[in-house]
């Protein structure tokens, strides 16, 4: 029987390399996979492209990656709370691709669904249209938004089983559901791991076909 359980966060990110693209779930502190964030730091990789909602908020979060200067580029919606990111962006040592939040989620969904992109009216006539292809449909202008995918996706689950089925703790679900579909390797930090068959099928939010590695959080 399929079993994706691994021992810890370090094993869950095995194979992560310099220059990889990494998606990280979480909205503020809700659903943030802190042990996986720590494991990436301990691994010592560099030049990462980070896809997330934000750049952290100067706590035990993604701001630590900027303090360690391991991020080359971030694609996100709200980076302003992270002091280290702000300093590096002003100095020109980190690249920012700012994406409206709904567009960010839909670009990730397109990546997971294997789509070539989608047309959005958001940003037409603003700085967001710079460098993007503009198309007209039924007399209205749209921007072609390209899909986002990652080498690794790091998520936090409330509950998982050994097959890799997972669910989330309320608002901790946030962007994680679509991110799970768009990563080549999806690593999940879970508060609880139950036996196969114990999870209510109706309560499984992300099915096991999207999950590659699961480990039990040390805080559990």
pLDDT for 58 equals 82
pLDDT for 142 equals 98
**DSSP letter string, 163-177:** T--EE--GGGGTTHH
Domains, the chain: 18-113+149-216 (3.40.1080.10)
pLDDT for 28 equals 86
Token pair belonging to 199: 């999870």
State the pTM of this model: 0.96
Residue 103: its H or E element: helix 101-113
In the chain, where do the E strands start and end?
21-24, 48-51, 71-76, 95-98, 118-120, 134-137, 140-145, 150-157, 159-161, 166-167, 183-190, 193-194, 213-216
pLDDT, one tens digit per residue, over 142-163 is: 999 999 999 999 999 999 999 9
- 10-residue mean pLDDT series, the chain (220 residues): 95 98 94 97 98 93 96 95 93 97 97 98 94 96 98 98 98 96 98 97 97 92
pLDDT, one tens digit per residue, over 12-42 is: 999 999 999 999 999 988 999 999 999 999 9
Residue 89: its H or E element: helix 83-91
Q: Which residues have C-beta within 8 Å of that of residue 170, sequence separation ≥ 6?
A: none
d(CA 207, CA 78): 29
């Amino acid at each position: 029987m399929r079993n994706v359980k691994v021992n810890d966060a370090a094993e869950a990110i095995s194979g992560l390399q310099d220059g990889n693209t990494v998606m990280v779930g979480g909205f503020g502190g809700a659903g943030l996979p802190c042990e996986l964030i720590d494991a990436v730091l301990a691994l010592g990789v560099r030049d990462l492209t980070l896809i997330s909602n934000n750049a952290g908020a100067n706590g035990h979060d993604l701001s630590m990656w900027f303090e360690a200067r391991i991020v080359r580029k971030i694609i996100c919606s709200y980076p302003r709370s992270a002091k280290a990111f702000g300093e590096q962006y002003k100095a020109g040592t980190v690249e920012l691709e700012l994406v409206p939040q709904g567009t960010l989620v839909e670009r990730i969904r397109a990546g997971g669904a294997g789509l070539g992109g989608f047309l959005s009216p958001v940003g037409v006539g603003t700085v967001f249209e710079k460098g993007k292809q503009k198309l007209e449909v039924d007399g209205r202008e749209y921007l072609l938004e390209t899909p986002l995918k990652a080498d690794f996706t790091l998520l936090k689950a409330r509950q998982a089983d050994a097959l890799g089925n997972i669910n989330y703790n309320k608002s901790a679900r946030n962007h994680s559901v679509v991110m799970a579909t768009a990563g080549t390797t999806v690593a999940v930090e879970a508060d609880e791991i139950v036996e196969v068959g114990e999870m209510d099928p109706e309560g499984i939010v992300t099915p096991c076909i999207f999950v590659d590695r699961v480990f039990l959080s040390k805080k559990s």
